[in-house]
Amino acid sequence: MPLPHLPASAPTSASAHNLILPVGTQVVTRVAVQRRNGKGCVKGAVGAIAQSPTDNSHAYDIRLADDTQIRLKRHEFSIRKHFQHVGAEQAADYLADYNLYDAVIYRCVVGSRAYGLDHAQSDTDRRGIYLPPAHLHWSLYGIPEQLENKETEECYWELQKFIILALKANPNVLECLYTPLVETATPLAEELLAARSMFLSQLVYQTYNGYVLSQFKKMEQDLRNQGRIRWKHAMHLIRLLLSGITILKDGFVPV
């Protein structure tokens, strides 16, 4: 069975590469070498530095996991922590083979357009839910909690993350569940929308107040830095206050 491809070494500065590594540093071999007992040592073997040279023109003595020793120059091995970091980056590339936006099960428009407060220059903010295939959920690589594209003003939460945020009465997520501007909704998303009222709780009092306070802070910063407030922040503040009151009194999110 062929060995898995080993990642290239992590980029390091010239000064870092000239440092003498101390005894005990765990390393990974980058070349296949001959052991002192005559047996071969494959690339990717793990060991620890047993003796360091006085400078990097000489070799390190490295003790492998089976207690045999080999001699390697600095460019012939990587520090294990660095090697693992690069491997993790390559593992993340696994998801690049999939267009996770194809897994969007719910897409809606929120913000000013949903509230009828938009103008000609208003952005179209799209939010929603994505549900990737099961084998990606079960893989060692995992999946991102959200997909975000700032250029197109889109953000899609992974289904579990979306439900957790909804249970915590996150204002952005509750708005998604109640906006009338729905562009995509699979049968599963329709079931979730039909049960949206179960996410409304007294937590709304804390979460909406928290968002209101953040808008106050933005307005204070505008006054300090520019001498005037941005009416967009004031509008968001009023909308959040009215939404929170309506949810607690009438049991729905006014969008």
Q: Are residues 102 and 195 in the same domain?
A: yes
pLDDT in tens, 193-246: 999 999 999 999 999 999 888 888 888 888 889 888 888 888 888 888 999 999
Same domain, 163 and 189: yes
Whether residue 4 is contained in a domain is answered as no
Pair 70, 124 in one domain: no
Residue 148's H or E segment, with its range, is strand 146-149
**Per-residue model confidence as pLDDT tens digits over 179-191:** 999 999 999 999 9
Spell out, as residue ranges, where the chain has pLDDT lower than 50.
1-17
In this prediction, residue 15 carries a pLDDT of 43
Residue 97: both structure tokens together: 């083979």
Give the domain CATH number at 124. Answer: 3.30.460
Token reading at 227: 């001498």
* 195 and 215 in a common domain: no
| Predicted pLDDT of residue 31 | 85
Residue 44: the pLDDT is 83
Q: Report the distance separating Cα 204 and Cα 240, nearest Å.
A: 10
pLDDT at residue 35, rounded to an integer: 66
DSSP string for residues in 29-78? ESS-EE-TTS-EE-TT-EEEEEE--SSTTSPEEEEETTS-EEEE-GGGEE
Pair (142, 189) in one structural domain: yes
Q: Out of 93, 122, 142, pick the residue that ends a domain.
A: 93
Residues 220 and 246 in one domain: yes
Exposed (0-12), middle (13-18) or buried (19+): which is 248, by Cβ within 10 Å? middle
Domain that holds residue 83: 14-93
Strand partners, 26: 48
User: Do 116 and 174 belong together in one domain?
Assistant: yes
Domain count, the chain: 3
DSSP track, 123-145 = --EEEEEE---HHHHHSTT---S
The per-residue pLDDT for 19 is 79
Domain assignment of residue 194, yes or no: yes
Same domain, 130 and 166: yes
pLDDT for the residue numbered 38: 65
Q: Are 181 and 128 in contact (CB under 8 A)?
A: no
Contact indicator for 108, 181 with CB cutoff of 8 Å: yes
| Residue range 208-223, pLDDT digits in tens | 999 888 888 888 888 8
Q: Do 85 and 129 belong to one domain?
A: no
Triad 186, 92, 26: Cα angle to 5°:
150
